[in-house]
Each structure stands twice: as structure tokens, then as C-alpha cells.
Amino acid sequence: MQIAQVTMKLQKLDSRAIIPRYQSAGASGFDFHALEATTIPAGDVGVVRTGLAMELAQGLELQIRPRSGLAVKSKISVLNTPGTIDSDYRGEIMVILINHGKSDFTIQAGDRIAQGVVAQVCQVCFEVCLEEGELSPSERGTKGFGSSGV
């Protein structure tokens, strides 16, 4: 099966910005790079600039996700995983990182800090159900957290 390709406009807001790229032929995510050096203190949060803006087609979103290597090696993750960039946003892409580690973490300009995945969007129309029993029954019903055996 061939991977679908979509053209997306990208603007460098700063000459130091690095254009994202996929690291392998089968990758679903492309890497975002830090525009400038910054340090995220242990247990704290930092907002990291990329120096990039994008124009997504209507019906697409950009999800900002953690890089697994940063998470496992340095305990650095994207705080609002996945971060969502809507198709009508034209500002700079910035990444909210959290340092779950016990030591401060320094990011150098050009470091890969997160990955972006473009996904299709489906907007729903809500049909409000006011009466109990208007939602169709299911085997699980109202059983919540941990009820599926996991």
C-alpha cells in the first residue's frame, strides 16, 4: 500500500528554523527542531519555539507528539499530548515540553524536540438525548475505568 502525500505550505519565520523531515520511508511523524537553546528545570514546563508556521488544508490537523527517544532517555515529553494545531491557525508552531526528570534538561538550537503527525479531522453534529435510555445499550454499559480488564 502506498502512503498518501499531501502538499502543505510551510513558512520559516526565522532564518534559523529547520524544515521538518521524515527520518525513514515508513515514518508517520516528522521531526520538529528547537529554534534556540533553552533549559527546562527538573519537574517544570517549557515552551520551545520552532520558528515555523504552516497552512494545513481544511479537514486536516497537525498533532504534536513526543519523541520516544527523549521520553525514555531524558524523561522529556509533550505536556498536552497530542498538541493540536487546527487548519485555521497560521501562527508559529511552539511545543510545550515537560521535564519529568530529576535534573534540568538543556535543549540546544537545532535539537529534535517533538514529532508532527498530520491527521484527518471529522467534525460531528451533536444530537442531544435528554431521556435515560436514548443511548443504545452496549455490553460494557456504564462501567468505567479499568472495567475492560486492562
Q: Within 10 A of 124 (CB to CB), how many other CB atoms are there?
A: 5
pLDDT digits (tens, 9 = 90+) for 5-55: 889 999 999 999 999 999 998 999 999 999 999 999 999 999 999 999 999
**Domain ranges, ordered by start, for the chain:** 10-120
User: How far, CA to CA in Å, does 143 sit from each of 62, 130, 139, 140, 150?
Assistant: 32, 20, 9, 6, 13
* The pLDDT of residue 149: 66
How would DSSP label each residue in 38-95? EEE-TT-EEEEE--EEEEPPTTEEEEEE--HHHHHHH-EEETTSSEEE-TT--S--EE
pLDDT digits (tens, 9 = 90+) for 69-90: 999 999 999 999 999 999 999 9
* The pLDDT of residue 115: 97
Q: In this structure, what is the dihedral angle of CA atoms 5, 7, 11, 15, given to the nearest 10 degrees? A: 50
pLDDT band at 146 (very low <50, low <70, confident <90, very high): confident
Residue of 150 and 145 predicted with greater confidence: 145
pLDDT digits (tens, 9 = 90+) for 108-140: 999 999 999 999 999 999 999 988 888 998 888
What's this model's pTM, rounded to 2 decimal places? 0.87
Residue 150, pLDDT above cutoff 70: no
User: How far, CA to CA in Å, does 12 sit from each of 90, 106, 126?
Assistant: 12, 24, 39
Q: What is the mean pLDDT of residues 136-145?
A: 86
Tell me if the domain spanning 10-120 has CATH number 2.70.40.10. yes
* The pLDDT of residue 4: 81
